[in-house]
Structure 1
């Protein structure tokens, strides 16, 4: 592995889900190697102004300000080098980053999962998340029917796609689940040909839910997962635990998110997107 040069970066987080942000105009020839190197929690980068090493992914963002509203093309490369089709917290960070450069409160975000509209109000960002789908084709599932409250591994899960696949289990108390132990067998279960994020949720006693997520591509638990928060509410509606179109509070370890899942319409995810710091990151190339 040799160091070619460096590239400027910024660091943001959405309720603790943290991302290295690189302007796509700055060329990074080997994006997977860059992400694997700099997202590492033991040896990754630490920006000025922050004390948290590494990240949950690298957002390569291409701003197209000539449009009204401005557009940003978002590519999220995860710590294992894979590309995620969608990331709710990452999309909110992308919107905040783009809004800072265009002095606007509305941004269109182009992702592999489709185009999403975001609105910005101070540090709070609300982003459209698409319509959750339980269809085996959409999740996807190696199954002839939907997967609803079915035992897989040690959990009873419901499968849903909220931009990426999620296996959601409602439990009495999320703190009682050894997620690092029980999640990998579900994440890699043959039922999920593309793998799945594993999300557990429990009622918070106030009409909302607490959430923990083991993320595919990170291969571990993260402080927050926006697609997971939407998945929690989508599955809660499917199981009759909530109803209507009112916002539902979902609280991963990193903070509270607001989720709206209307019937057959795009879901909406809201929460803070916070700038942490910046710096220069080595561009690495892994030779054969």
Structure 2
């Protein structure tokens, strides 16, 4: 038995998209196997999408299963990929994305996909982080970390040059730190010389650095504005995989804009019921 998928990426953050009505009894096991870049197709996660065309604009219910087999409540680039997938099927230039972190609107803008990212919060209970007050520039494992939730938790630190940081060594102790009951993503940023920021992110659930992280890009913009490092709108953010723009709309919500590309289609095998 096989299940069809389509592979999309947003600035290098790549996903297998499988229609939610395709039967996969163990989604976590399939993600662990097929997200592996040596043994499987290779991806930062699998998006299970259910398209509901009766609404105007159309709605997409999105579930993201990460390479460790766990479900993540939100992914900025994943939601942008889901929006592009839905727009291609409906011909619409706007869709609503239902995620576990809330319902978000996505629009096509000059060929790119812009998605609302909700209202970021520094509230320690919402991050979550074990602290009585919001955490701003607190030293943890050698980085001055600010904690923010942009749909998922991020520990954001500004450094002189992101390329000088051994992220694979520095990030795991923070990601699994006792301060973070649900764990955290770890994102570092440095000025790009043109008013924006270079980005690198170590993603919870992927357990590695990724080419791009949309929620991390939003985290950089939000924290930079809060700490007085920028007053720009949009804020340009440059992960290794490309260029993202973070803006703030009239409702106080962050928006994330960038390109999305459809890479290829394929099928993955569903093995024995005991395995999957």
Per the normalisation by structure 2, the TM-score is 0.97
Residue 49 of structure 1 is matched in structure 2 by none
Q: Which runs of 5+ in 1 are unaligned?
A: 46-53
SS of structure 2 residue aligned to 1:198:
strand
1:286, CA displacement in angstroms?
6.6
Q: Distance in 2 between matches of 1:239 and 1:262?
A: 19
Q: Distance in 2 between matches of 1:149 and 1:111?
A: 30
Residue 22 of structure 1 is matched in structure 2 by 18
Residue 208 of structure 1 is matched in structure 2 by 196
Aligned length: 275
Deviations 1:209-235 (A, max 9, x none): 000000000000000000000000000
**Does 2:258 match 1:271?**
yes
**Does 2:173 match 1:177?**
no
**Does 2:178 match 1:190?**
yes
Moved over 6 A (4+): none
Per the normalisation by structure 1, the TM-score is 0.93
Q: 1:114-263 maps to which residues of 2 (within 5 A)?
A: 114-121=102-109, 123-243=111-231, 246-261=233-248
- Could you tell me whether the CA contact under 8 Å between 2:212 and 2:239 is conserved in 1? yes
Q: Distance in 2 between matches of 1:285 and 1:194?
A: 32
Q: Distance in 1 between matches of 2:209 and 2:257?
A: 21
- Could you tell me whether the CA contact under 8 Å between 1:230 and 1:261 is conserved in 2? no
Q: Distance in 2 between matches of 1:284 and 1:214?
A: 31
Query: Which of 68, 89, 93 does residue 77 from structure 2 map onto?
Result: 89
1:121, CA displacement in angstroms?
3.7
Q: Distance in 1 between matches of 2:235 and 2:45?
A: 27
- Could you tell me whether the CA contact under 8 Å between 1:56 and 1:79 is conserved in 2? yes
CA-atom RMSD in angstroms: 1.3
Q: Distance in 1 between matches of 2:269 and 2:5?
A: 10
Q: Distance in 2 between matches of 1:267 and 1:156?
A: 23
- Could you tell me whether the CA contact under 8 Å between 1:30 and 1:284 is conserved in 2? no
SS of structure 2 residue aligned to 1:130:
coil
SS of structure 1 residue aligned to 2:228:
coil
Deviations 1:191-248 (A, max 9, x none): 110000000000001010000000000000000000000000000011001125x211
Q: Distance in 2 between matches of 1:263 and 1:105?
A: 21
- Could you tell me whether the CA contact under 8 Å between 2:200 and 2:239 is conserved in 1? yes
Query: Which of 31, 37, 41 does residue 37 from structure 2 map onto?
Result: 41
Q: Distance in 2 between matches of 1:285 and 1:16?
A: 32
Residue 65 of structure 2 is matched in structure 1 by 77
Q: Distance in 2 between matches of 1:68 and 1:152?
A: 46
Q: Which runs of 5+ in 2 are unaligned?
A: none
**Does 2:104 match 1:108?**
no
User: Structure 1 residues 263, 162: CA separation in 2 closer, same or farther (over 3 Å shift)?
Assistant: farther
